[in-house]
Amino acid sequence: MSVDTNMNVLIVDDYKTMLRIIRNLLKQIGFDNVDEATDGSQALTMLREKNFGLVISDWNMEPMTGLQLLREVRADNQLKALPFIMITAESKKENVVTAKEAGVSNYIVKPFNAQTLKMKLESVLGAF
Amino acid sequence: MTLSHGASTGLADKLEQAREDAERPLSREEVAEIITEVVMSMSGDLTPLDLKVYKELNGLAGFIQAARHEIAEIRPQEIGSEYIPTATDELDAVVMSTEEATGRILDSAEQLMTIAGEQEDAFQEKLTEIAMAIFEASNFQDVTGQRITKVVRTLKHIETKIDALIGVLGEEVERSKAEAHAEGEGNGKASDQDLLNGPQLPQNAIDQDEIDRLLASFD
């Protein structure tokens, strides 16, 4: 079964430029329905209001970080199965381990390229 | 260190007498006698250990005084009030200008994608590939921005420590500041070297139109 690229994707980053880059790369890969949030708390509100098939989030944001958002998502019965990819400049081993323990679906280190993003999407969602 | 009671009473009497006889200068013998009495009374109270401790403390006080003076000479107040704020402002300007430049690059890449959509297959693919490469390359801005933010945070930490140092040094720093001010007065005209500190921060810069108006004002 192929992935539905019409699904709603939520991207979360406090750098508007990065939101724009991820949106364009997703569009090129085939995902056109992309919404944006600039921190974890805004993202959490949006996730509870609309049906999303994927979250791609930065880590280092205020007031709610990407890790806190991930923990909130995994603790929420309605959202806990939602695929969640972290895209971050935090590249220490302990960061990756912490994110994995919190339930992250995959982890991309900035700067990244379209090929890496596509591979991670396929590993989380399946081939498309 | 105190004078012994008997010695101090005798010395006090002699000093009182000397004050009363102030109209009459003391003879060399009388001065020598007073000094000898002071020295003798002091030595009576001091052990060799006291003298050694006194010497060490004196040396330590001299060392501390010299260190304070040397630190003040470095003018730490300039680091806290001038250099670090300038450095952080410059770094903030770097982040802002690269963000603006990246925004313009992305505008062009998005236009390229739109044009690509209107082209034949092979050409469309090539243009899309170029636009994607631009998007990929542009995510440097987020990483450099975060690195610069970390540097700014470190500089602000150093600034706090320097402020604490200035608080401890107090008087010496004020003296050094006054000296720096006096040095800076000069003839009031900027030297060639003073003029070389660009690029200016946006709030300190004038734009091309203002430059043109300024140049025209000389005509």
Q: Are A95 and A59 in contact (CB under 8 A)?
A: yes
Whether pLDDT at A34 is above 50: yes
Q: Could you read off the pLDDT of A13-24 as tens digits, one per residue?
A: 998 999 999 999
| CB pair distance less than 8 Å for A18 and B128 | no
CB atoms within 10 A of CB A68: 17
Helices (H) and strands (E) in chain A, counts: 5, 5
Structural domain spans, chain B: 1-46, 75-178
The whole-chain average pLDDT of chain B stands at 79
Residues of chain B contacting A28 with CB distance shorter than 8 Å:
113, 128, 131-132, 135
Residue A75: phi, psi to the nearest 5?
-90, -5
Q: What is the pLDDT of residue B42?
A: 64
Q: Could you give the CA distance from residue B161 to residue B197 in angstroms, rounded to a whole number? A: 27
Q: What is the pLDDT of residue B186?
A: 57
Q: Confidence band (pLDDT; 50, 70, 90) for A65?
A: very high
Q: What is the pLDDT of residue B26?
A: 65
Complex-level ipTM: 0.81
Q: Which two tokens stand for residue A63?
A: 């007031």
Q: What is the pLDDT of residue B183?
A: 63
Q: Return the closest-CA partner of residue B73 out of B184, B173, B181.
A: B173
**Rg for chain B, CA atoms, rounded:** 36
Q: Confidence band (pLDDT; 50, 70, 90) for B1?
A: very low
Whether pLDDT at A35 is above 90: yes
Chain B contact probe: residue of A21, A32, A58 with most B CBs at under 10 A: A21
Q: Could you give the CA distance from residue A99 to residue A107 in angstroms, rounded to a whole number? A: 8
Domain A9-125 has CATH 3.30.420.40: no
